[in-house]
Structure 1
Amino acid sequence: MLIQVILLVAVAVVTLLLTRSTAGARHQAIRRLGLVVFITAAVASILFPQGLSRIANAVGVGRGADLLLYALVIAFLSYISTSHRRMNRMSRQITALTRELTLAEARAADQGHGLTEEPEMPEDA
């Protein structure tokens, strides 16, 4: 019984942490739907562990704990994949911003030294 209370508190904490996302509306909606499914499955497996064992047996896994481990491995791999894509996107954004900043600083330095991109020609010349 104590482990059920501890696990339910842990699920509640994870729920609070995951709902603080600042992503776009579509991503946030998908995340919240996934969160509802996760919470429902987590609470059900904590309160009714024999149900998880029945599901495990139905899909050919010996124990519910093994099925849970397999699901966690898949979730971990999904997290790693998502994090890798996010880091690559952020790296590209940082590179683009660095280039823009360097070009802006070079333009400002050129203008500060009296250099212009093209000298102006008088109109009557």
Structure 2
Amino acid sequence: MIIKVLLLASLGSAGLFVLRGHRSALNLLVRRALTLGAIACGGLAVLFPSAVTRTAELVGVGRGTDLVLYVLCVAFLFVSTSLYTRHTDMHDRFVELTRQQALLEAELVGLREVLADASDRHVSSQQSGQH
């Protein structure tokens, strides 16, 4: 029964993570803390495999391997949503940069035309003054 509550809470947090969708310093801190926690738990699971089985039994899962599978599925969901959010942010930045570049190029073309017209007028006035 406890595992169902934990899994539903994890899925709910993943859904909330997707809905919030913006990156912040707090998000980065939480992601790094969770990553370090996962590495530490993985190390403990390797060193003490029987503890994984005991933990699985405590939360209502029959075997430790099933618990590891559930945890990996939730972790995969968080990684996938994180990558999706990052991809979306990068896409938005790319679109903004492309717009800025297009505006700058249009401004540059306009300045070149103004300079070319001014240069033509200058050359014309010099030629008419020489005759």
Work out the number of aligned pairs and report it: 93
Q: How does 1:79-94 map to 2 (within 5 A)?
A: 79-94=79-94
Cα drift, residue 46 of structure 1:
0.6
Aligned equivalents of 2:81, 2:31: Cα separation in 1? 16
CA distance in 2: counterparts of 1:28 and 1:89, whole angstroms: 14
- Relative to the length of structure 1, the TM-score reads 0.66
Q: Larger C-alpha radius of gyration, 1 or 2?
A: 2
Q: Which runs of 5+ in 2 are unaligned?
A: 1-22, 116-131
Provide the rounded CA distance (Å) in 1 between the counterparts of 2:30 and 2:96: 29
- Distance verdict in 2 for CA 1:25–1:88, change over 3 Å: closer
Q: Which has the higher contact order (CA 8 A, sep 6+)?
A: 2
Percent identical pairs in the alignment equals 34
Distance 1:75 1:35 in 2: 10
Counterpart-to-counterpart distance in 1, 2:69 and 2:37? 17
Superposed CA RMSD in Å reads 2.1
Q: Deviations over 1:38-57 (max 9, x none)?
A: 22211111111111001111
Which structure: greater helix fraction? Answer: 2
Alpha-carbon distance change, 81 to 32 in structure 1, aligned in 2, over 3 angstroms: closer
Q: CA deviation at 1:89?
A: 1.0
Cα deviation, residue 34, structure 1: 2.1
- Partner Cα separation in structure 2 for residue 47 and residue 31 of structure 1: 24
Give 3-state SS (helix, strand or coil) of 1:114's partner: helix
Q: TM-score normalized by structure 2?
A: 0.63
Partner of residue 51, structure 1: 51
Deviates more, 1:26-35 or 1:76-85: 26-35
Q: Work out whether 1:95 is the aligned partner of 2:95.
A: yes
Give, in whole Å, the separation in 2 of the partners of 1:49 and 1:102: 58
Q: SS at 2:60's partner residue?
A: coil
**Farther-moved stretch of structure 1 (83-92 vs 34-43):** 34-43
